[in-house]
Amino acid sequence: MTSPRTAVRAGLALAGLALLAACSGPTATNTDSTNADGTGTGAAQAPTGDLRVAVISHGTAGDAFWNVVKNGATDAGRQLGVTVDYNSDGDPGRQATLVDNAVSQGVGGIVVSMANPDALKTSVENAVKAGIPVITINSGSERSAAFGALAHVGQEESVAGEQAGAKLREAGKATLLCVIHEAGNIGLNQRCDGARAGFGGTVSTLQVDINNPTDVEARIKGALQTDTSVDAVLALNPQVAVSAVNAVKGASSAAAVATFDLNADVTGAIKAGDVLFAVDQQQYEQGYLPIVMLKLYRDNANTVGGGKPVLTGPGFVDRSNVDEVAEYAERGTR
Amino acid sequence: MTTAPPATDERLGSPGLLDRLVLRPEIGSLLGALLVFAFFSVVTERFLSTGGVATWLDDASTLGIMAVAVALLMVGGEFDLSAGVLTASTALVTAILATRLGWNVWLALLASLAFALAVGVLNGWLVMRTGLPSFIVTLGTFLALQGLNLGVTRLVTGTVQVSGMRSAEGYASAGFLFASTFTIGGTAFYVSILWWVLVTVAASVVLLRTRFGNWTFAVGGSAPAARAVGVPVFRTKVALFATTAFAAWLVGSINILRFTSVQANQGIGLEFQYIIAAVIGGCLLTGGFGSAVGAAVGALIFGMARQGIVYANWNSDWFQLFLGVMLLAAVLVNNALRRRAERVRR
């Protein structure tokens, strides 16, 4: 397009094409959407030969939690002879595009984490329509079956939050600070709401930015100094937990720290007594199991879970079992 | 002009075709796009399947709409760092009004458009009134909007996502305009691609064929000089800021109607992608030079690279590295071409 006039012509031609082509709007209710099928050939795969699975998560690149999920998926792929492609994007729109991408590549299976199920609805349904088996992981369990996914592998966030809250109450705590580290992640809110229900005492939430560790520590410290009655901090991510431990020390507060999820630092902190316990959702399984399930589905038409989510958590790691878990966290599988 | 100009003027040179081409700001991005396209077409055959094309066009479309508007603003010599977050703000306004207060979707869209234009005009007004660089002013707006997005969303909904647009009144008709698909060769293409083409064509015509376009180049080249020859600098710049805000509303509306939900943290960091796409398309950071078509092609490069890397089954860990290197290469090519262009001008 070198001159605006040709640009106008091209634009008009394209618009004309679009008018000639079958237009279809999105559906207003939850009936079947009228979008055209993708061009996937997943259904046409022979039951032998290569199986390629696309794992598409909403984790940001470099997130420790999702790294373990990725390890689980790639380990399973290596052991079962399945090719695993891992991609992630925190933006729900771009995550949906990655699902479309996998469909047009004609992969043999899709594993997707649904932090924002609405945004992924069309893409996941199109994948199912194209005959590609889909397994949802980590979040979005309540919508998984409705979208046509084979199964969901994950942890019920509100249940896990409730148990964490109850455990803190048993430890004799009265005022809890729940630290949310991703503004758009609905699962984190569910954890805090669950903790509120299970804890029974005063619960306040604090918003921090996971991409800025200095800010995380400073804000938790500030919150502890502002309200000295806080005697428990619940982190929802191992990186935040380490910052919270530093903040508690920095504010010379006596608050106990508990956290969701594990890494080597957290196991060290549990050993040292700085962290009371970690809620472990064993996310390695969230990467590993779907690959197994997809392979079983292709080779033997097996399904897992009986229509209910396959739960990988919550498990608890505290001083009683931290030693064996620690060595696994070290190698990036816990 | 009272006398007709002579048919030919001996003072005008007649540069050759190649030199004339080099003068176009978008030529560098077109070459880059061809290179990226050829590269991924060779590396993976899926890239050229209709499904593949639909995917990367879809990826490029919303980025392209914004990049074109940001390119106009950059030609006018200003930045807008709040554009990325504003795409989420407008979607949140629409979603909250439609799902929480039960407004008709069309009314909610109008309200969020008014909100977007207000933010755009405020940006422009602040920049012109205070004389501060727009980089600083819009950085402030960016942070303010980020806080508003999270604060208001949590206040109204108690959570950080607003969803349920599908059951709002008027969703089907609004969705048809912003989020429908059209089928070519059995593959569904999103209507956002058409919006992208439309916005690019409109912006190109405005920039190259209208008085406002001349004003834009003039205020970006030198605001004092433009003022001296009677260009309404204030109005032009405010209108340009309103244009990026309008584009942000368009993208926000496309997103909310297509995905039927919006997260409070969406859009953060995208503002730099818009600027980068515009720069690949030949815009100068100093203003007064650039092209709308170039910015659209810059967004196309982004979309092709983003999805092409996935099609090629490369390890996604290296994605950003590839993107960074590619952008630098594109800008360097642009720079070399521009040097040549300046030689031609002399």
Which of B50, B161, B194 has its CB closest to that of A186?
B161
Residue B265 is predicted with a pLDDT of 85
- Those residues whose C-beta lies under 8 Å from the C-beta of residue A31, and which sit 6 or more positions away, are none
- pLDDT band, very low/low/confident/very high, at B284 (cuts 50, 70, 90): confident
C-beta contacts of B51-54 below 8 A and 24+ residues apart: B51/A38, B51/A39, B51/A40, B51/A100, B51/A103, B51/A104, B51/B187, B52/A101, B52/A104, B52/A105, B52/B307, B52/B311, B53/B187, B54/A100, B54/A104, B54/B187, B54/B188, B54/B189, B54/B190
> Per-residue pLDDT tens for B71-100?
999 999 999 999 999 999 999 999 999 999
Average pLDDT over residues A163-175: 95
**Chain A neighbors of B52, CB-CB under 8 A:** 101, 104-105
Instruction: Say whether pLDDT at B141 is over 90.
Output: yes
Distances from the Cα of A265 to the Cα of A2, A105, A313, A334, angstroms: 58, 39, 20, 12
- Interchain pair A18, B191: CB under 8 A: yes
> Per-residue pLDDT tens for A59-98?
877 777 898 999 999 999 999 999 999 999 988 999 999 9
- Interchain pair B172, A27: CB under 8 A: yes
Residue B16 is predicted with a pLDDT of 72
**Closest chain B CA to residue A183:** B265
Residue B343 is predicted with a pLDDT of 75
- Interchain pair A26, B188: CB under 8 A: no
- Interchain pair B258, A40: CB under 8 A: no
- pLDDT, averaged across chain B: 89
Bridge partner list, A154? A138, A311
- pLDDT band, very low/low/confident/very high, at A294 (cuts 50, 70, 90): very high
Instruction: Say whether pLDDT at B230 is over 50.
Output: yes
B282 in contact with A at a CB cutoff of 8 Å?
Answer: no
Residue B51 is predicted with a pLDDT of 86
Residue B5 is predicted with a pLDDT of 57
Average pLDDT over residues B37-44: 92
Instruction: Say whether pLDDT at A21 is over 60.
Output: no
Instruction: Say whether pLDDT at B102 is over 90.
Output: yes
By percentage, how much of chain B surpasses pLDDT 90?
62
Residue B213 is predicted with a pLDDT of 96
Q: Do domains A4-155+281-303 and A157-280 have the same CATH topology?
A: yes
**Window from A50-54, B6-10, B130-134, B149-153 with minimum mean pLDDT:** B6-10
> Per-residue pLDDT tens for A206-253?
988 887 888 889 899 989 988 899 999 999 988 899 999 999 998 889
- Interchain pair A23, B181: CB under 8 A: yes
Chain B closest-CA separation from residue A245 CA (Å)? 26
Structure tokens at A100: 């479309």
- Those residues whose C-beta lies under 8 Å from the C-beta of residue A12, and which sit 6 or more positions away, are none
Distances from the Cα of B302 to the Cα of A47, A67, A181, A189, B54, angstroms: 37, 26, 29, 33, 14
Q: pTM above the 0.75 mark? A: yes
Torsion over CA: B191, B194, B200, B206 (sign): negative
Contact call for residues A56 and A113 (beta carbons, < 8 A): yes
Domain locations along chain A: 4-155+281-303, 157-280
- pLDDT band, very low/low/confident/very high, at B292 (cuts 50, 70, 90): very high
Task: Look at domain A4-155+281-303 and name its CATH class.
Answer: alpha beta
Contact call for residues B220 and B152 (beta carbons, < 8 A): no
Regarding predicted confidence, which is higher, A214 or A113?
Answer: A113
In 10 A of CB B129, how many CB atoms?
10
Average pLDDT over residues B159-167: 85
Residue B315 is predicted with a pLDDT of 77
Bridge partner list, A82? A51
- Interchain pair A184, B266: CB under 8 A: yes
Residue A46 is predicted with a pLDDT of 44
Instruction: Say whether pLDDT at A129 is over 80.
Output: yes
Residue B269 is predicted with a pLDDT of 87
Please, which residues 155-194 of chain B have a Cβ atom closer than 8 Å to chain A?
A: 158-161, 163-167, 171-173, 175-176, 179-184, 186-188, 191, 194
Instruction: Say whether pLDDT at A44 is over 50.
Output: no
In 10 A of CB B318, how many CB atoms?
12
Q: Where are the alpha helices (DSSP H) in chain B?
A: 17-22, 27-43, 50-75, 83-99, 105-130, 134-157, 171-179, 192-209, 211-221, 223-228, 233-259, 270-280, 292-311, 319-345
- pLDDT band, very low/low/confident/very high, at A262 (cuts 50, 70, 90): confident
- Beta strands per DSSP E along chain A: 22-24, 51-57, 82-88, 109-113, 134-138, 151-154, 175-180, 202-207, 232-235, 256-260, 275-280, 310-311, 315-317
Whether residue A314 is preceded by a cis peptide bond, meaning omega within 30 degrees of 0, is: yes
Residue A6 is predicted with a pLDDT of 54
B197 in contact with A at a CB cutoff of 8 Å?
Answer: yes
Q: What fold does the segment set A157-280 form as a domain? A: Rossmann fold (3.40.50)
Contact call for residues A194 and A219 (beta carbons, < 8 A): no
